[in-house]
């Protein structure tokens, strides 16, 4: 069961913070922003469709809701994340995002046969917990960042054993 925050609006950093990122902290923030935008767009589209149906009288073709159905509808609106529409939308968004990531991953694959003269060398920068985000922001989009996290105390004990 997913716990919903009392305040549904997410407080996210500006879009420039995570522009083009797909992994790590920035990737999670970018995914959250994209999901919320897609959810709002989907909601607006459904609302417009409902308004059009009511304007053109298509809603009158359906049976009039009973007071019990109206009460249930208002409860459903308060628990929108539990609705089948929300679950279906989430599943559809996840599938779309997975396909997008797979297509991006297949585009950036390079091997020796396609580019034998290119050599890629890296470096190891030591950063503390506060310098982590700063360190990953200083590299270009085409740079792969590998994070190695270790504890000095544990490493020292292993050497002494």
pLDDT at 78: 47
pLDDT at 62: 54
pLDDT at 73: 54
Distance CA 67, CA 65 (A): 7
Q: Which residue has the higher pLDDT, 87 or 161?
A: 87
pLDDT in tens, 76-131: 454 445 577 788 888 888 898 888 878 877 775 555 555 556 656 677 778 777 77
Mean pLDDT of the chain: 71
Instruction: Please spell the DSSP secondary structure of 98-153, one letter per residue.
Output: HHHHHHHHHHT---TTT-TT-----------TTTHHHHHHTS-TT---------HH
pLDDT at 1: 45
Taking 70 as the threshold, does the pLDDT of residue 42 lie above it? yes
Whole-prediction pTM: 0.40
- Tell me the domain boundaries of the chain: 15-118
């Amino acid at each position: 069961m997913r716990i919903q925050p009392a305040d549904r609006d997410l407080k996210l950093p500006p879009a420039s913070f995570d522009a083009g990122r797909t992994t790590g902290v920035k990737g999670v923030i970018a995914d959250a922003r994209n999901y919320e935008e897609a959810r709002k767009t989907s909601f607006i589209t459904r609302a417009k469709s409902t308004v059009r149906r009511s304007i053109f009288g298509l809603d009158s073709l359906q049976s009039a809701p009973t007071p019990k159905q109206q009460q249930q509808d208002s409860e459903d609106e308060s628990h929108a994340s539990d609705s089948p529409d929300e679950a279906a939308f989430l599943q559809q968004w996840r599938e779309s995002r997975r396909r997008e990531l797979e297509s991006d991953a297949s585009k950036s694959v390079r091997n020796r046969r396609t580019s034998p003269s290119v050599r890629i060398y890296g470096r190891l920068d030591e950063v503390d917990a506060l310098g982590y985000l700063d360190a990953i922001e200083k590299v270009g989009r085409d740079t792969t960042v590998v994070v190695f996290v270790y504890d000095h105390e544990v490493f020292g004990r292993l050497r002494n054993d």
